[in-house]
Structure 1
């Protein structure tokens, strides 16, 4: 079968990597792909947001299955459009994708269906939002309603910082239309964890757990990023806690989807905080997480093409998912200045010196005249499976130390547990 993967990051490289291991897959295309996907897929220069061009490509090239990586095309209705033309595509329709497309809708969904989450208020007016700060203690969280590539969340330590963040989003429009409406939310403390789930035919089936690192600097300091490191499994998700999450979160999500008439098929990413009062949901994403995908998929022993097909058909079962007992760690090399302004086009060297047991996922790279160059804020994810976290992270850090590009940065405390 021929598969089209949509997207250009480390998540999409990991998807291509796993699809390439399937006996059912004969050809992989990646639109637009990156410098790493080009070694296992044919990169196609189509913007992930150009739904009609992607549709035309899929029809012209007799694509058997399309897998959507990023959230933008999902929220814009790419699944609805492909299904209208009779094409098989993995991901939720627009009606389900709003769970990520609007944080206000997502929070209202949680409240309506008794899914534990933090106290919040939504605002569509600048002055009301500024007054609303009086209802919260510090630190607090301010979120843009729409899609911001994982950067529309600001943790504010003071009233001055909170007012500036609100004005930046609502008045200065630093996130464009995505910040016209905002949420002010209580800051939850505890252990953060990521749970990716397959959703199909009224079933929610968790994948193996993971924990990502959002802050740019060691010790969880600095601004939020799209994620600069990750490991799987997450030891904090014990069997008892998973049972509690199933009872208080997953079962209520199922009820909510049914009550709202949402026929959800695809991945539902649940960001959780394990608080003293129990697990609470931070956010929903409607696609594979990044960098979670880079540590979860290497541990998957089942044929991922079969999993995608069964999810679409509504026949997927928990027993279809077989996992390695090994631990997996990834550390992301970033461009200097990320998550703010950074330069692209820096030549990358040393990747040819990595040990064979390391997996190198490309996040933001391109090949120009035979040279591998940086092409994003997150550049490379150095990944390794190991018998335990200590062995895996040691190999990862030995490997990342062999890579060089001007201004390269990375955290030194990923999976130091």
Structure 2
């Protein structure tokens, strides 16, 4: 069948590579795609938020199945629009994507249905938020309510930092309307684990675990980013923890969304914190994580189109979800200065070695200019390697980063180090 993938990042590249492996796939299109995705799909210059043009294109090309990868179109109702036009489409409708689109909504959902999470307060007034910050225990976490490219979370060690954070989010509007409402949340400690789950509205099936590295600098220092690297599986995510999460987090979340009239179909990302007080939900996302997809999908044995179709059709309970008994590590190559200020348009040199023996180069921020690949974003590539264990995968991934060169290339040097040593 012909497939259209909506999005342009490393996540969509990982999805496209996996879709290309399916025995059910015919022609793959990506809108807008990127330089790397063009190796496995025909990229079309249609913005991910232009639903009318996307639907017209899908009709013209006789697309059978649509995969909406990115958060903005999901929250804005891309799935709803494709369904109205008669397409079979993978992803949550807007009413369900609200679980990512509003942190206040997701926190209130967890409180109502007794799903374990950090204590919090929600504010729509900067003055009231500032007054609250005089009474809390530090450190504290500030979260812009809406979508902010993974950057709308500030960890504040002091009252002064928190006051500045309120000004940045709510008054200076650094994240636009996403900061109209803010969540002030208890700071949790412990290993962080990401679990992506396929969902069909009733059934939920977790994939293999992953562990993100959000901070820009080594040692988990610097600003929050969209993710500087990832590993899979997480050695901290034991069988006992998985069983606890299934009964106390995954199934209750599916049930809660259905009870609220927002049945969730697609991929539910559950960010977990393994605190001294037990497992708690850090956040939800309504799609594959990025770069979680770049370590989870290379380990997936099941046919991704079969699983996605089962989610859309409400028969996920009929399919098996299998993963390799190995490990994967992704190291993000970024433009120096990310996530604040960085140069684009730097020519990229890629040596041979990717695309075989468990080595992947996922393009996150690239484009073609005069037939040459140049940088077009803060996160430029995800270099992923598999191995028999995390140590071997990590060694291979870092070795493979030497195959890619561009001016102002930057990466963390400690992706996976803490997990392996721990």
Q: Does residue 401 of the first structure (1) align with residue 367 of the second (2)?
A: no
* Aligned partners of 1:205 and 1:318 also within 8 Å: no
Find the counterpart in structure 2 of residue 146 from structure 1. 146
| 1:178-225 deviation digits (Å, cap 9, x = unpaired) | 101111101100010001111114111101110010011111111100
Greater displacement, 54-63 / 99-108: 54-63
TM-score with structure 2 length normalisation?
0.97
Question: Match of 2:45, SS?
Answer: coil
Shift of 1:350: 3.3
> Which residue matches 2:283?
283
Q: CA RMSD in A?
A: 1.2
CA contact (8 A) 2:3 2:63 kept: yes
Q: Does 1:238 align with 2:274?
A: no
CA contact (8 A) 2:326 2:388 kept: yes
1:377 aligned onto 2:378: yes
Q: What are the Cα deviations for residues 254-297 of structure 1, in whole angstroms up to 9, with x where unaligned?
A: 33123212221111100110011111001110000000000000
8 Å CA contact retained: 2:217, 2:412 = yes
| TM alignment of 1:301-316, pairs within 5 A | 301-316=301-316
The within-5 A match list for 1:221-236 is: 221-236=221-236
In structure 2, C-alpha distance between the alignment counterparts of 1:271 and 1:318, rounded to whole Å: 26
For residues 79-102 of structure 1, give each alpha carbon's deviation from its aligned partner in whole angstroms, at most 9, with x where no partner exists.
111111111100001110101111
Q: Which residue of 1 aligns with 2:42?
A: 42
Offset of residue 319 of structure 1: 4.9
Structure 2 stretches of 5 or more lacking a match?
Answer: none
User: Aligned partners of 1:401 and 1:103: how far apart in 2?
Assistant: 39
- Residue 98 of structure 1: aligned partner: 98
Q: Is the 8 A contact 2:335 2:408 kept in 1?
A: yes
The equivalences for 1:167-186 within 5 A come to 167-186=167-186
Residue 163 of structure 2: aligned partner: 163
| Conserved? CA contact 1:201–1:315, under 8 Å | no
Partners in 1 of 2:87 and 2:43 — Cα distance? 20
Distance, in Å, in 1 between the alignment partners of 2:182 and 2:294 is 30
Could you tell me how far 1:355 is from its partner in structure 2?
Answer: 8.0
> Is the contact made by 1:329 and 1:383 (CA closer than 8 Å) also made in structure 2?
yes
Further displaced range: 278-287 or 134-143:
134-143
Distance in 2 separating the partners of 1:318 and 1:238? 26
CA distance in structure 1 between the aligned counterparts of 2:317 and 2:211, rounded to whole angstroms: 24
Q: What's 1:366 paired with?
A: 367
Q: Residues of 1 paired with 2:351 and 2:163: CA distance? A: 44
Distance 2:247 2:375 in 1: 44
Partners of 2:320 and 2:329 in 1: how far apart?
24
Deviations 1:39-63 (A, max 9, x none): 1100010111111111111112111
Q: Tell me which residue corresponds to 1:328.
A: 328
TM-score with structure 1 length normalisation? 0.98
Moved more, 251-260 or 61-70: 251-260
How far has the Cα of 1:14 moved from its partner? 0.3
Decide which moves more: 290-299 or 79-88: 79-88
Compute the displacement of 1:250 (Å).
Answer: 1.7
Distance in 2 separating the partners of 1:76 and 1:62: 24
Instruction: Report SS of the residue matched to 1:166.
Output: helix
2:401 is equivalent to residue 388 of structure 1:
no
Confirm or deny that 1:132 pairs with 2:146.
no
Structure 2 CA distance, aligned partners of 1:4 and 1:130?
A: 46
Q: CA deviation at 1:353?
A: 5.3
1:77 and 2:77 equivalent?
Answer: yes
Structure 1 gaps of 5+ residues are: none
Aligned residues: 417
Q: Deviations 1:375-414 (Å, cap 9, x if unpaired)?
A: 1000011111111111111111111023211110101111
On the 8 A contact 1:349/1:405 being kept in 2, the answer is yes
Distance in 1 between residues matched to 2:354 and 2:93, nearest whole Å? 40
Q: Supply the distance in 2 between the matched residues of 1:338 and 1:201 (Cα, whole angstroms).
A: 37
Residue in structure 2 matched with residue 269 of structure 1 by the alignment: 269
Query: For residues 333 and 73 of structure 1, what CA distance do their matches in structure 2 show?
Result: 26
Deviation for aligned residue 1:415: 1.5
